[in-house]
Amino acid sequence: MDDEIELISDGDGLAVIGNPMVVERFLVSEGLPSKDLGLQRLGSALSTGAGVAQAGSLVAANSGRWVKLTEEAAQAIKKYGLRESSKTGLRTGVLKGNKGQVRGFVEFVKGPGSLLTNPAILAGAAGIMAQVAMQQTMDEITDYLATIDEKLDDVLRAQQDAVLARMIGVGLVIEESMTIREKRGRVDEVTWSKVQAAPATIAETQAYALRQLDALAEKLERKTKIGDLAKTAKETESKAQQWLAVLARCFQLQDAIAVLELDRVLDASPQELDGHRLGLKAARNDRLELISRTTEHLMARMDAAAGTANAKVLMHPAKAPAVVQSSNHVSTAIVDFHGRLGIEHAQQSSEARRWADAAKELRDKALDTGADRVDAARRLGNDTLDRARSATGKLSRRIAERALRRHGDDEED
């Protein structure tokens, strides 16, 4: 009999389901790293209703692995032509082959042996996939917060605001509930009752952090003098990282609530799981869009400040590069933050305008005023060009070193 595996994609990940050995051979052949999907949890969750025996046997006979939807996984989906359901938003398909060698694609299987033809199992698998994807993001945010833990502690200690205090308390309750979930394998009514009010508190804290970032952008916008701009840019560089950390923690807790919520729906009303999953996904995308708009606005203001500094680089040789450096640091921090949350970006850090270019413009203007000022312009151009080479070389090295570090981090990931 031919080997057979079933594929499910929800836009965030790819589930590969079938005989454990066949699944493993497929993943190895495609070069796709994976983690356990936890499909067996559906056995107890789907313990009531029609088709219980069939559902239980299907779950017991199959193994599931989850693959994060990287570029390689997306290519696999494209290669095998998975078909999308307008009702569930899932892309599914069945691959058949001999000894793990895929030789064809079957869009729809009518036989009773397929998980894809059992709506309850398909909805349950999609719910678990959403949980695994969110837990992956939560782990990445944990790593992110670990790298800036000191900054996060600073902002939390410095704030007397009750909003942040409530968020810290809610976080402890959510972590406790996640621990109980891991031990019990489900979220019962008692556990869920502990965290029901948490989303409102987290949303309040998120709104507070977003307002702080907006305030930083507005303060930058009001500064026109290069000295004031340099001071404000430096303050923004420090504070932006802190509020990004608060936002990351809020997002992490919101994902944790969603994981608990899906378990609760699966336990109490499994027939509503698919609709609830889609609703949570839409709400999550809305949060990402809101965060993206605010942080990109701050990046735009930092870039504008860098542009202003570049235009005045000759008159302010010390303060102008400092503004550009702060802009680069903020942009780098936001791009890193976006990456942890899964926000797409194409933002490039700004580069300081070359002193040589600025000097050339000034020299050309001086030459246009008359021959009697040529010597003075040349002296100015040559002196400035020497300073330009030194300053530009240092900045280029810093940018190159940062790029190499980020490239190295990407390769390790």
Instruction: Write out 95-117 in H/E/C secondary structure.
Output: EEEECCEEEEEECCCCCCCCHHH
| Residues linked to residue 279 through DSSP beta bridges, in sequence order | none
Domain membership flag for residue 380? yes
Q: Are residues 25 and 169 in the same domain?
A: no
List the end-to-end C-alpha distance of the chain, in Å, as a whole number. Answer: 39
- H or E segment at 7? strand 3-9
Q: Are residues 56 and 195 in the same domain?
A: no
CA distance 95 to 102: 6
Return all residues near 210 (Cβ < 8 A) that are at least 6 apart.
Answer: 247, 290, 291, 294
Domain membership flag for residue 143? no
Q: Are residues 176 and 324 in the same domain?
A: yes
The 10s digit of each residue's pLDDT in 295-326 is 999 999 998 888 888 777 667 777 888 888 88
Tracing tokens 């950390």 back to the chain, one arrives at 245
pLDDT, position 208? 93
Q: Are residues 287 and 370 in the same domain?
A: no
The top-scoring range by mean pLDDT among 119-123, 254-258, 378-382 is 254-258
Selection from 1, 43, 2, 5 nearest residue 24 by Cα: 5
Q: Are residues 78 and 178 in the same domain?
A: no
CA distance 38 to 59: 10
Provide the 3-class DSSP secondary structure of residue 224. coil
Decide: 201 and 211 in contact? Cβ < 8 Å.
no
The least confident of 32-41, 124-133, 210-219, 257-266 is: 32-41
The least confident of 133-142, 194-203, 214-223, 380-389 is: 380-389
Q: How many domains does the chain have?
A: 3
Return all residues near 219 (Cβ < 8 A) that are at least 6 apart.
Answer: 232, 236
Domain membership flag for residue 413? yes
Q: Identify the burial level of 401 via C-beta atoms within 10 angstroms of its C-beta, where 0-12 means exposed, 13-18 middle and 19 or more buried.
A: exposed
Mean pLDDT of 156-165: 65
Domain membership flag for residue 214? yes
Q: Are residues 86 and 228 in the same domain?
A: no
Which of these three, 296, 329, 346, is where a domain ends? 346
Q: Give the mean pLDDT of the chain.
A: 76
Domain membership flag for residue 138? no
* Band of pLDDT at residue 178, cut at 50, 70 and 90: very high
The 10s digit of each residue's pLDDT in 115-149 is 777 788 888 889 999 999 999 999 999 998 888 76
Mean pLDDT of 2-26: 86
Report the C-alpha dihedral over residues 227, 233, 239, 241, rounded to 10 degrees: -160
Decide: 358 and 384 in contact? Cβ < 8 Å.
yes
Decide: 80 and 102 in contact? Cβ < 8 Å.
yes
Decide: 122 and 91 in contact? Cβ < 8 Å.
no
Q: Phi then psi for 349, rounded to 5 degrees?
A: -70, 145
Please give the residue range of the domain that contains residue 191: 148-346
Q: Are residues 199 and 227 in the same domain?
A: yes
Q: Which two tokens stand for residue 377?
A: 């312009």
Q: Are residues 49 and 187 in the same domain?
A: no
Mean pLDDT of 339-345: 82
- H or E segment at 166? helix 162-184
Mean pLDDT of 13-29: 88
